[in-house]
């Protein structure tokens, strides 16, 4: 667990936000992450390509969440 936190701490905030704004929201109308999240909720996320898109466009957001959690835990 400590190794993951140390890797996440090395990422710059600006880089993570830039990746979320570009890769995390691409294509911009509608963003794939919203489209694939809706498919997941509806149970229509079946094809391997859909899962790949969901993970590929969702990874920056997961990284951002982990970075936020890591920095909040350091403040304690």
Cβ-count burial 47-61 (b if 16+ within 10 Å, e if not)? eeebeebbeebbebb
Q: What are the distances in angstroms from CA 29 to CA 14, 34, 35, 37, 72?
A: 23, 10, 10, 15, 33
Could you read off the pLDDT tens digit of each residue along the chain, which spans 76 residues?
667 777 888 888 999 999 999 988 888 888 888 888 999 999 999 999 989 989 999 999 999 999 998 888 887 7
What is the pTM assigned to this prediction?
Answer: 0.81
Determine the pLDDT at residue 61. Answer: 94
User: Is residue 23 helix, strand or coil?
Assistant: coil
Which 8-state DSSP code applies to residue 25? T
């Amino acid at each position: 667990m400590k190794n993951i936190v140390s890797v996440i701490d090395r990422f710059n905030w600006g880089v993570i936000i830039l990746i979320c704004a570009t890769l995390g929201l691409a294509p911009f109308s509608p963003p794939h992450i919203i489209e694939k999240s809706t498919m997941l909720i509806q149970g229509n996320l079946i094809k391997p390509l859909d899962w790949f898109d969901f993970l590929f466009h969702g990874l920056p957001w997961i990284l951002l969440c982990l970075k936020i959690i890591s920095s909040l835990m350091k403040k304690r």
